[in-house]
Structure 1
Amino acid sequence: MKGLIRTRGRYFALLFAACLATFALMCAVFIENGRSLLWQNDSLSLYYPLFVYEGQWLRDVFGSIGQPDFAVPLYSLDIGYGADILATAGGCFNDPLNLISAFCPPEYAEYLFEALIFVRFFLAAAAFSLYCFGHGRGQGPTLCGSLAYVLCGYVVMWGVMRHPNFINLAILLPLILWGTDKVFERKSPALLMVSMGLLFFFSVYFSYMTLIALFIYCLIKYFLVPRKRSLRDFAALLGRFVLYLGTAALLAGLFLVPIVLVLTSMGRVGLTREIPLLETLNFYWQLGSNLVGGSFNKRGMFLGIVPVLGVIAFLIGRRQLGRSWAPWALGFGLCFVGALLPPVGSAMNGFGYATDRWLLVLGFCAAYMLVLVVPQLRRFGRRQWAVFTLVGALLAVWTGAYAFDVLSKQAAMACVLLVAIAIVFVLVPRRVSVAAMSAVVAVCLAGSSAGLVVIGSSKWGTSFASSFVPSGEAVELTRAFAVADEAALLDKDYRIDRAGAYGARNQTMVSGFKGFDFFSSYYNQKLDDSRYDLGVASHWTNYIYNGVDRRLALELLGGARYFVANDDDRDKVPYGYAPVADLGEMPIWDDDEEGGAKELRMSPVRLYESDVALPLAFTYDEAVPESTYRSLPLVERQELLTRVCVLADERVARNEDEVLRMATVEQEADIVKEKGLVVRNGAIEVAKRGARLRIAVEGVSDAENYVVFENLVFNPLGPAGQRALAEETGVKIEPKKTDRGPEWWTDLKWAPDRSAPLQIKAGDRERSLKIANSRNAGYGGKVDWAVNMGYSEKPVKSFTIKFGKPGVYTFDKMYVASQPVAAIEENVKKLQDENAASVSFGTNRISVDVAAEKDGSDDERYVFLSVPYSPGWSATVDGQPAEILQANVGFMALAVDGAGHDVQLTYVTPGLVAGAWCSVAGIALFAGILLVRKKMRKRA
């Protein structure tokens, strides 16, 4: 036993060194260019802020233990409009590795965050090694397979380079499968229950995918691995798996139940999407290159040159591999075919958009097939090597042809490496031992896969390293507001908004300010409904909020007393906000809707303030039903909110005779000029990128102006349609730089666009809007938009719309709405003057003191809270339970009479208590299963 431990210890030390060297090589371009491993999009704006916040949260919790008012914070008004902490941080707070953030000051969190990426990378390799050792595989082949596993596209391109916590699945998958094998062998189910329980605890999303893969794994193992099969045996085995997996789910109940409740409430889950039966021809054309690393367009498809050659050798070496050949060949084949079909990717994603994130299973199969085939290469005959050479040559031709077609240096280098390594495979096996061959394979594997990542991240590839945050600057980007001395003077009971994406998203959460900034996969659907009903165009997704589109009415109603803007964005400051302080220079990173990289720059930033902004709790004297609210056009709805509270229809009767007189003016748009497009039959047919449409209106003075689209849908236009439309409109379509070969060939490779950017200009003001169709991964069903062009003292009579993609843009209505700011200010000042509520905030608590009506009336009024509606809130009025009403679509209100009242609201994460009891039951069931097994073994 001691010898085995020493041997395993040396192996894992070698594995650690190999992983460290490979990881360092992959990061060479990042190090050379001074870039961190924090991707600008999700890592900087989601995972890193949550990592820093978790450290602060843990320190606060443990620091307050023993205090009379001790409570675990479950809700924060510093996250977006206010959000559940555990739900927002799903996948981060419930990642055990992130607990170490409690011991790290924010100034060094970036470096610890990066170190944990490597820790996960190594742990995934170690877990795969344990799986192999559990099946009696040798150390040399296991090392090769472990490196192949962690260098597959899922781990590297989805995990290391974009979503570090995704690697947790790669850590747990080998343990889950090993635990499954133990159940088949009637051994202890503890490993399966614990590993699957950890996955349930970490991610519902990946648990769903894994359960499907596990089901198929079990079927293959049951029917293709020798075993005494019978209906009784199958039923007994099925029953055990149901029991063990159910126990695993119960163990994770503390997080699983709340996350499931949030997930099932989100509107983007279950949306009807356009899922084609087959991918585009271009997908299949670049497939060979994607597999070996000549391109990373489909991240999960990347296996690497050595694993692909290993799979080829595995399929050829059927005789040498014996019974182990069929199960793994079938498993790999099913995964590979599934990867070619979008409906499979959609099914693995909960029948949402098609994704390749589930292809970790493909990488696992390829890696284990490499483990199995390396020892057998010495036994290959000439005929087998001839077949191997032929298949390898065909793959090289395929990859080379693609490289020539698109002029890709990365694909060309992949082709060269493919030929070189194939030659090594053919020439070396007959002359060296298995250990030496394993070393050669490992070196080729690490060098080629990591090397191609280096090429891909450099200017020789797609330069994706430039889309990562400069090293050492993450903390400044997430604390941009906090660096200014004037920030300490802010009244933190009000919100702060910003004109652009300064620094990173979610920085109010890290800095401790209330705002509207939000980014998380788990969002409040009621809040999203309220934004959609108003056509807020600050961002095109359901789960990212870039403020409230700088709308005066929404800023004031939402309690945004403060506003931050740099000098370039002064035209985006809402009417009535006056400059009060220079905040110095802040890091500015303009939001790029297409996901491209933009360099950081420092820019002077100013703080603006409004004395009209309402507090986060105030009183309405009147209410109207939602049906009245929804009968109004988009922009008029927000004007209505400045006058009355909107409640569900059953809470307040609609007065059919009531006529709502609004100051907002809806102006029909006259089309005065078209360039590169045609407007007809309720559609704008765009022939080429950059086509423009100019519309004219009468204009309204002293108003905020909105360009409004109702039911705007983007449909891509194929090459033939573009050419016909270009001929009709008299414009010339310039070919893309990547278009090579005859026209018919480029037509065949055409892939439909999934989104389109629009730029809208009025005078010297320009705004942008991105719309997505149902093929887009971020599609959330949004088709109504009101783009705020800002305040203008003089009437704005002309607007130009520039279309970023060719296609057909269908719509029901397109018009301009002008909202006089005087009417908004008058309405809000009236609410301010008549407000009888004062609010204070505590841990999971909001306290509102409501003064009695000055005239002594006893009429019903509504205490409105600018906090998203959630079933987690409960309320009392003067100590008695009170109903919380859903108000203004996504917020909360309580009905009170004219007397003075003490209103208390408390919050508990929905499902947290039930989830905790599930975990208790799971622990008891887990212990019971192990005890029963122990007693049964003693009897046996």
Structure 2
Amino acid sequence: MRKFVSRDSKKDFYLLYTLVFGVISFFIYYQFAGNGKSLVWSHDGIPQHLNSLAYYGRYLREVLHTIFVEHKLELPMWDMNIGYGSDILTTLHYYVIGDPLTLLSVFVPADKTEVLYEVLIFLRIYLAGISFSVFCFYHKNPKQATFMGTLIYIFAGWTIYAAMKHPYFSNPMIYLPLVLMGIDKIYKREKPWLFIWATAVSAMSNFYFFYMICIFMFIYAAFRYFGIFSERSVKDVLGWLVKFIGYYAVALMIAAVIFLPVVMTIFGTDRFQAENYVPLLYDKIYYEKYLGDLIGENMIQWGVAGYSAVAMAGVFVLFSRKKKYLDLKLGFGLLNLFLLVPFAGHVLNGFSYVSNRWIWAYGMMIAYIFVKAYPEL
């Protein structure tokens, strides 16, 4: 028992986390089930997400049948029943193909897909909390602060609103902490495997969110470099840059079997090439509601924040310490600037229409600020 609850052991943390997560998740689920609603959104959930998951399960079972029963490897790549006929990989990648969790569909018959669909919603959120906590523990943050920060991270507005509509919208919340932790490991001259595999899985899972992760990966690496190393030079910067590019290239080569055809298809779509109007500023009401929306309702353009109000206390503490947490202060300022300027939403949305679907990364920063500030409180 002493070992179980010791300072170094994390078993008590994850036991408590699992218990609390289960209670809160049940409360959230009951809001739907108690009102006779499922977690499948009528607009995109039925025609896109649910059908894709059911199709993928059937597809995987057919592949396994050809391998173990017919003793041949055959991967169907084209299906005339998708639209007027379409490529299976590039059509279903955005929804299911490449996401490791959707492989569970192979065990679930099509008529039970809705159960798996709902389970995966909460499983993704649960794993996002595990990922964030691992990142916090790597940076030697105390368990109590990490526990509260984890709940702030996973039960913000993005997961309650966006992940209920589009389940895979919580996938980047799993990958980002691991990618950033991989960057830290490389700077500490530890093994690069976490960075390589987290980047590779992210690239295979969903190109859209991987693009955003790459931007935050670059920003984080730059901030950490200036925060870790006091002696800097152009030669040193170039050396680290070459090293990261090498590891990044290895990750993309691992993911290339899925990543490459998807990217080639996306670049050829009319939606990607369309010209979009990008205003200089948002409407006046956006800025009037901005601060309140951080702990309340939805901003426009997918700016779903809705963090626990106690998280804002971490921000106040952060800026009350004049000579500490410079990197977090700069990061907070930069990401808030991204939220205030439409052009940032345009760039982070793949130079398409203005959208702040990257706000899950802002949520990680808010949660981690609270983790660092909690001991000061």
1:495-551: CA deviation from partner (whole Å, max 9, x where unpaired): xxxxxxxxxxxxxxxxxxxxxxxxxxxxxxxxxxxxxxxxxxxxxxxxxxxxxxxxx
Mapped partners of 2:196, 2:336: distance in 1: 29
Larger relative strand fraction: 1
1:175 shift after superposition:
0.4
Q: 2:134 aligns with which of 105, 109, 130?
A: 130
Give the structure 1 partner of residue 145 of structure 2: 141
TM-score for both structures, normalised by structure 2: 0.94
Aligned ranges 1:645-656 → 2 under 5 Å: none
Give the structure 1 partner of residue 352 of structure 2: 352
1:255-288: CA deviation from partner (whole Å, max 9, x where unpaired): 0011011101101103111110100001111212
Give the 3 Å change call, closer, same or farther, for CA 5–326 of structure 1 in structure 2: closer
Q: 1:96 aligns with which of 97, 100, 103?
A: 100
Mapped partners of 1:188, 1:105: distance in 2: 41
Aligned ranges 1:368-447 → 2 under 5 Å: 368-377=368-377
1:814-870: CA deviation from partner (whole Å, max 9, x where unpaired): xxxxxxxxxxxxxxxxxxxxxxxxxxxxxxxxxxxxxxxxxxxxxxxxxxxxxxxxx
- For 1:234, the aligned partner's letter is V
- For 1:117, the aligned partner's letter is I
Aligned ranges 1:204-283 → 2 under 5 Å: 204-283=207-286
Mapped partners of 1:295, 1:124: distance in 2: 21
Give the structure 1 partner of residue 178 of structure 2: 175
Larger relative helix fraction: 2
Q: Does 1:58 align with 2:56?
A: no
Mapped partners of 1:186, 1:230: distance in 2: 18
Give the structure 2 partner of residue 437 of structure 1: none
Determine if contact 2:173/2:361 at 8 Å carries over to the other structure: no
Determine if contact 2:297/2:304 at 8 Å carries over to the other structure: no
Mapped partners of 1:214, 1:273: distance in 2: 26
Mapped partners of 1:5, 1:192: distance in 2: 27
Give the structure 1 partner of residue 36 of structure 2: 34
1:167-213: CA deviation from partner (whole Å, max 9, x where unpaired): 11100100000000111111111100000111111122112111111
1:621-672: CA deviation from partner (whole Å, max 9, x where unpaired): xxxxxxxxxxxxxxxxxxxxxxxxxxxxxxxxxxxxxxxxxxxxxxxxxxxx
Describe the SS at the equivalent of 2:294.
Answer: helix
Give the structure 2 partner of residue 422 of structure 1: none
Determine if contact 1:157/1:299 at 8 Å carries over to the other structure: no
Give the structure 2 partner of residue 336 of structure 1: 336
Mapped partners of 1:245, 1:100: distance in 2: 28
Unaligned runs of 5+ residues in structure 1 are 378-940
Mapped partners of 1:141, 1:267: distance in 2: 47
Mapped partners of 2:299, 2:21: distance in 1: 21
Give the structure 2 partner of residue 460 of structure 1: none
Q: Does 1:157 align with 2:158?
A: no
Mapped partners of 2:136, 2:281: distance in 1: 35
- For 1:201, the aligned partner's letter is M
Q: Does 1:87 align with 2:90?
A: yes
Give the 3 Å change call, closer, same or farther, for CA 28–245 of structure 1 in structure 2: same
Aligned ranges 1:496-575 → 2 under 5 Å: none
Instruction: Report which structure shows greater RCO (CA 8 Å, sep ≥6).
Output: 2
Give the 3 Å change call, closer, same or farther, for CA 186–6 of structure 1 in structure 2: closer
- For 2:128, the aligned partner's letter is A
Q: Does 1:193 align with 2:196?
A: yes
1:395-443: CA deviation from partner (whole Å, max 9, x where unpaired): xxxxxxxxxxxxxxxxxxxxxxxxxxxxxxxxxxxxxxxxxxxxxxxxx
Mapped partners of 2:202, 2:91: distance in 1: 18
TM-score for both structures, normalised by structure 1: 0.38
Mapped partners of 1:302, 1:124: distance in 2: 17
Give the structure 2 partner of residue 117 of structure 1: 121
- For 2:154, the aligned partner's letter is V
Mapped partners of 1:246, 1:223: distance in 2: 24
Q: Which has the larger radius of gyration?
A: 1
Mapped partners of 1:89, 1:62: distance in 2: 19
Describe the SS at the equivalent of 2:270.
Answer: coil
Mapped partners of 2:44, 2:192: distance in 1: 36
1:278-325: CA deviation from partner (whole Å, max 9, x where unpaired): 000011112122111244654433333122232223222x15xx54x1
Mapped partners of 1:189, 1:113: distance in 2: 33
Mapped partners of 1:154, 1:233: distance in 2: 38
Give the 3 Å change call, closer, same or farther, for CA 71–49 of structure 1 in structure 2: same
Determine if contact 1:169/1:206 at 8 Å carries over to the other structure: yes
1:427-478: CA deviation from partner (whole Å, max 9, x where unpaired): xxxxxxxxxxxxxxxxxxxxxxxxxxxxxxxxxxxxxxxxxxxxxxxxxxxx
Mapped partners of 2:376, 2:71: distance in 1: 68
Mapped partners of 2:161, 2:315: distance in 1: 21
Unaligned runs of 5+ residues in structure 2 are none
Determine if contact 2:317/2:376 at 8 Å carries over to the other structure: no
Give the structure 1 partner of residue 46 of structure 2: 44
Task: Give RMSD over aligned pairs.
Answer: 1.9
Determine if contact 1:154/1:360 at 8 Å carries over to the other structure: yes
Describe the SS at the equivalent of 2:355.
Answer: coil
Mapped partners of 1:69, 1:217: distance in 2: 46
How many residue pairs were aligned?
A: 372
1:863-888: CA deviation from partner (whole Å, max 9, x where unpaired): xxxxxxxxxxxxxxxxxxxxxxxxxx
1:121-142: CA deviation from partner (whole Å, max 9, x where unpaired): 1000010000000000111000
Q: Does 1:107 align with 2:111?
A: yes
Determine if contact 1:158/1:357 at 8 Å carries over to the other structure: no
Mapped partners of 1:332, 1:270: distance in 2: 32
Mapped partners of 2:306, 2:333: distance in 1: 16
Mapped partners of 1:228, 1:68: distance in 2: 60
Describe the SS at the equivalent of 1:303.
Answer: coil
Describe the SS at the equivalent of 1:196.
Answer: helix
- For 1:372, the aligned partner's letter is K
Aligned ranges 1:658-737 → 2 under 5 Å: none
Mapped partners of 2:315, 2:37: distance in 1: 35
